[in-house]
């Protein structure tokens, strides 16, 4: 269990109460390495499990639609994010955007895998804005796993989610 106050604060933010108990085995699967809420992937915890765990921390008092996302960076580090709503709806943050922000804050800039989960009737896909954010840091062949809390899983790629994405090539004359 973390002892540094800033790391403990992030640990509590990232992990649901059930995972904070010393007797809970999944707690050993999470290791916070800095105040930017970086989660290191251990053998016992998959990317989807990480997204599922962080989803419980979503702040969704208005829609009640909690979303969790986890991304694996080229370094092997796993970053997690959950949606954070705001009473001024456009000011909320998507789970994928939160995970990407944590990745960049952690010093990584390349995504090698994505997982997103929500309590929905079919696997939840990233919104249009998050598709573009993911494409900024991921190659077209990066696998995106979309899931429901009931266990329905669908996999696709970044290119399939965002065909004809706006990329840096469009800025080559600038």
- Secondary structure element (H or E) that encloses residue 69, with its range: strand 67-73
Cα gap 126→25, rounded to integer Å: 30
List the catalytic residue out of 85, 96, 113, 136: 96
Q: Which CA distances in Å does 119 have to 12, 21, 55, 125, 150?
A: 22, 25, 10, 12, 7
96 part of the active site: yes
Closest alpha carbon to 1 in 33, 27, 40: 27
Strand 111-118 relative to strand 138-148, pairing? parallel
Closest CA to 140 of 156, 127, 158, 126: 158
User: Are 161 and 144 a contacting pair, CB within 8 Å?
Assistant: yes
d(CA 143, CA 59): 27
- Which residues are catalytic, by number? 96
């Amino acid at each position: 269990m973390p002892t540094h106050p800033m790391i403990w604060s992030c640990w509590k933010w990232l992990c649901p109460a059930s995972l904070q108990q010393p007797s809970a085995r999944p707690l050993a699967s999470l290791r916070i390495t800095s105040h930017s809420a970086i989660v290191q992937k251990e053998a016992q915890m998959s990317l989807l499990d990480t997204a599922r765990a962080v989803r419980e921390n979503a702040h969704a008092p208005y829609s009640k639609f909690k979303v969790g996302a986890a991304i694996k960076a080229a370094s092997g580090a796993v970053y997690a994010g959950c949606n954070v709503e705001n009473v001024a709806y456009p000011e909320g943050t998507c789970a994928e955007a939160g995970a990407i922000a944590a990745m960049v804050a952690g010093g990584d800039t390349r995504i090698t895998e994505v997982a997103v989960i929500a309590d929905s009737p079919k696997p939840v896909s990233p919104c249009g804005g998050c598709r573009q954010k993911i494409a900024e840091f991921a190659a077209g062949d990066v696998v995106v796993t979309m899931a429901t809390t009931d266990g329905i899983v669908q996999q696709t790629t970044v290119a399939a989610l965002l065909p004809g994405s706006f990329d840096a090539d469009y800025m080559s004359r600038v």
